[in-house]
Chains A and B, each alone.
Chain A
Amino acid sequence: QKEVEQNSGPLSVPEGAIASLNCTYSDRGSQSFFWYRQYSGKSPELIMSIYSNGDKEDGRFTAQLNKASQYVSLLIRDSQPSDSATYLCAVSQLRGNQFYFGTGTSLTVIP
């Protein structure tokens, strides 16, 4: 069983819509959760980190964590074509700060 699972997509949304990206993880001891954005041919860049249950908002981005359901999501409001990228979910179990990454969800925002 994979540690971190994401729907690979592709996910397509029209410009201005809300994009919803989902991630589930298998280890209940997981402590820290991260969303990275990766443009084609580039390296991952951090968008959000979340450590406790609930919502965390940063501009157009909202991360949601539900540890009971082992589920973390990323909402992108007012999606822009520049948001088109692959979004990686990462989970840390604090075993030496090792991260476990999902395989990513490809998002396309259609103008």
Chain B
Amino acid sequence: DVKVTQSSRYLVKRTGEKVFLECVQDMDHENMFWYRQDPGLGLRLIYFSYDVKMKEKGDIPEGYSVSREKKERFSLILESASTNQTSMYLCASSSASGGQETQYFGPGTRLLVL
């Protein structure tokens, strides 16, 4: 079974703090993704990565950065948290080979920025 884990289920931070969200997958997947999910807006892609040290902007990268130093780990960084970044953050991973590109999700991190 594919397993994607995220460092925290719930997180409360103050405006202006630097926030790190970590995601680890154990299936040797090449692709990893960070989404945020808000009511009525669905899942929106923040950043994704095809390989170690590679990153691509998604639809809403502003205010975020990412790091992928190892294949199994993809970190999302909020450089200076703001209240409009309060959301559910979901990490996903997928294999790049053989058309089996199903994305598997972690349990999510619910972030509250005060």
Residues of A bordering B, CB below 8 Å = 32, 34, 42-46, 49, 51, 88, 90, 92, 94, 96-99, 101-104
Contacts and interface: CB of A to CB of B under 8 A. Distances in A.
A43 B43 contact: no
Contacts of A90: 103
Q: Which of A43, A90, A98 has the most CB of B within 10 A?
A: A43
A42 B42 contact: no
Contacts, number: 47
A96 B99 contact: no
10 contacts: A34-B103, A42-B107, A42-B108, A43-B90, A43-B106, A44-B105, A46-B104, A88-B43, A97-B101, A101-B42
B105 A45 contact: yes
Nearest to B49: A96
A102 B45 contact: no
A34 B92 CA distance: 14
Interface string B35-47: 0000011110100
Contacts of B45: 98-99
Contact of A97 (B58, B90, B94, B106): B94
Contacts of B56: 96
B48 interface: yes
A104 B42 contact: yes
A34 B41 CA distance: 19
A45 B56 CA distance: 24
A43 B103 CA distance: 12
Nearest to B30: A97
Given A43-B90, A44-B90, A103-B40, A92 B101 contact: yes
A100 to B, nearest CB: 8
B103 A99 contact: yes
B6 to A, nearest CB: 9
A39 to B, nearest CB: 11
Nearest to B54: A96
Contacts of B50: 96
